[in-house]
A = this chain, B = another copy of it.
């Protein structure tokens, strides 16, 4: 049973989507909504907080709550499969995703990896590189580092399938969030070989650390995307 504020947010979202609320008028005020849903105003506000974060509405003190004029422009973007987080969305065409394992090794971490994963120099890590294909077209090349002690028994076959699924379903690990830096780069040798890049084709690099529920860094990765296959969407509410 979801919390009441989640149900209320869902209902208000549905009404906005189905244009049950006029786009150019403020929503009913919080007192009216509290009465309608037989709840307190605090609960209505918690529902509104959620809709604000989603970019669906915004509030103005003394004026009311308004529907964002072009929220529908946001919804044209799709969540990619491996992208389990909220505020940012990766943009890709739909299709079937598969993986080819380019490298799968065990070694000790570099200094940068030690500080990013908060581990010691003698804590072994997996080091693997995967080419990710969308409908058999190369899409991204992901170089990932994971501490062995967090992910016992990782095998090549897991890499060919979904690592995320193995982590979640078999090991019961839960992700908390991520920290990412996005930049443009010249393609390196691997990019040219596997992503079919020319010298002049840039790659988009996402350097990311993904954290578990308890704040432990789980993976440190550099993901390279073909410049013509993806973008990253960032929505920001003042």
Contact = CB atoms under 8 A, between A and B. Distances in A.
Interface of A: 42, 55, 58, 60, 66, 68-70, 73-74, 84-88, 91, 115-116, 118, 175-186, 199-204, 213-217, 225, 227, 230-238
Contacts of A180: 233-236
3 smallest A-B Cβ distances: which pairs?
A202-B202, A184-B184, A184-B204
Copies of this chain, count: 2
Contacts of A118: 69-70
A182 B215 contact: no
Contacts of A202: 184-186, 202-203, 227
29 contacts: A58-B176, A60-B213, A60-B214, A66-B214, A69-B215, A69-B216, A69-B217, A70-B217, A73-B115, A74-B179, A84-B238, A86-B236, A88-B234, A176-B238, A177-B236, A178-B236, A179-B234, A179-B236, A182-B182, A183-B227, A183-B230, A184-B185, A184-B203, A185-B202, A186-B200, A186-B227, A202-B227, A232-B234, A234-B234
Contacts of A235: 177-180
A234 B86 contact: no
Given A86-B238, A177-B238, A204-B204, 7 more contacts: A60-B213, A69-B217, A87-B87, A180-B234, A182-B182, A182-B234, A184-B185
